[in-house]
Amino acid sequence: MQHDLAPILRVIDAAGLGELRNPVFVRSMVERAGLFYDARRLYGSDNRFMRPQPGGGLWQCPIQMATMLVYLSNLGIRTMLEIGTVRGCHAARTLHGLLVDCSDSWRRRPRRTVCPAPSQATGWTTTIISAYLRRFGLEVCQTVDLASVDLLDRELPNVWRTHDVAITLALIDGNGTITPALLPSYDLVFIDGDHSYPGVSGDYKRYGPLARRAIMFHDVADSFCHDVRRFWSEVRQLNAWNTTIHEFTLRGAPEDAKEPPLMGFGVLELVW
């Protein structure tokens, strides 16, 4: 049976580079892939692209992912490291049994939301980013995840091989040992792991120095990820003198302005 990602990977392979640098084209590609099912219906106007049930899909806002990808296509990225590849914030927190405190200031209704269970997370974002950047010269994508949890979509390694997506899954154990070992440096380091303040700041201190061109974070504007928003605010101020800062935080339609800020990518483009 064909994996649900296969049609999108074929679109990426067949499209011209001009099309892949067109945010409208890339956005439609992301929408076609489908968004991860979330019963809270947080995607706003993009809820119509949500898959009908858990299991696969992108935990993304299509316009954010599309504009981020087009931006990255111009950086000449040959090597990439991603932290938190398969699960990101949601699994890291659930693994540690934490609750996310959510203050819904828009509607003045405080509430608590439990992060989705690890069984609900996917590696689709990693796959699409890697397949897309491969068209612009990406040769190596190493991804790091927790050794204590199995890869959730067990078909993904087969998808990577079938579609020649250059992803190598590295696992980190309880002692911090990563197997296989990381490269000395990467053009792009993408941090999307433990979303607690110690987690994201620790990942930045450990893996940020490996970046040659850019360091990217996810959920920098998310109203449910207070610690990431706090860290992003701090790190962009500390690095204003030696980086060009890019944010991709738009929502899908004007009416989404009434909704809580969701997700968002932040990039520190290094200036040498």
Q: What pLDDT score does 116 carry?
A: 40
Query: In CATH, what number is assigned to the domain containing residue 203?
Result: 3.40.50.150
Query: Is residue 97 in some structural domain?
Result: no
pLDDT (mean) for 242-270: 93
Query: Is residue 112 in some structural domain?
Result: no
Alpha-carbon span 127 to 228, nearest angstrom: 23
List, for residues 189-238, the tens digit of each pLDDT value.
999 988 999 999 999 999 999 999 999 999 999 999 999 999 999 999 99
Query: For the chain, what is the largest distance between any 2 Cα atoms, rounded to a whole number of angstroms?
Result: 51
**Phi and psi for 61 in degrees, rounded to 5?**
-95, 120
Per-residue pLDDT at 249 exceeds 60: yes
Q: What pLDDT score does 96 carry?
A: 33
Q: How many domains does the chain have?
A: 1
DSSP state of 33: H
Domain that holds residue 187: 6-88+118-270
Per-residue pLDDT at 272 exceeds 80: no
Four-point Cα dihedral 73, 76, 80, 85, nearest 10: 0
Q: List the beta bridge partners of residue 81.
A: 142, 189
Buried b (16+ CB within 10 A) or exposed e, 107-134: eeeeeeeebbebebbbbbbbbbbbbbbb
Alpha-carbon span 207 to 33, nearest angstrom: 30
Q: What pLDDT score does 54 carry?
A: 78
Query: Is residue 84 in some structural domain?
Result: yes
Query: Is residue 55 in some structural domain?
Result: yes
Q: What pLDDT score does 199 carry?
A: 93
Query: Is residue 104 in some structural domain?
Result: no
Residue 251 burial (CB < 10 Å; 0-12/13-18/19+)? buried
How confident is the prediction for the chain on average, in pLDDT? 83
With beta carbons less than 8 A apart as the criterion, state whether 206 and 83 touch: no
List, for residues 27-67, the tens digit of each pLDDT value.
999 999 999 988 889 899 999 999 988 778 899 999 999 99
Query: Is residue 159 in some structural domain?
Result: yes
- List Cα–Cα distances, 256 to 50, 52, 221, 226, 240, in angstroms: 16, 21, 14, 20, 29
pLDDT band at residue 266 using 50, 70 and 90 as cut-offs: very high
Cβ of 86: how many Cβ atoms within 10 Å? 24
Most confident of 100-109, 158-167, 248-257: 248-257
DSSP state of 35: B
Query: Is residue 95 in some structural domain?
Result: no
DSSP state of 194: -
Query: Is residue 111 in some structural domain?
Result: no
Alpha-carbon span 237 to 231, nearest angstrom: 10
Q: What is the pTM of this model?
A: 0.86
List, for residues 80-132, the tens digit of each pLDDT value.
999 985 554 433 333 333 333 333 333 333 333 334 433 344 688 999 999 99
Alpha-carbon span 34 to 58, nearest angstrom: 6
From 165, 181, 163, 185, select the one nearest 173 (Cα to Cα). 181
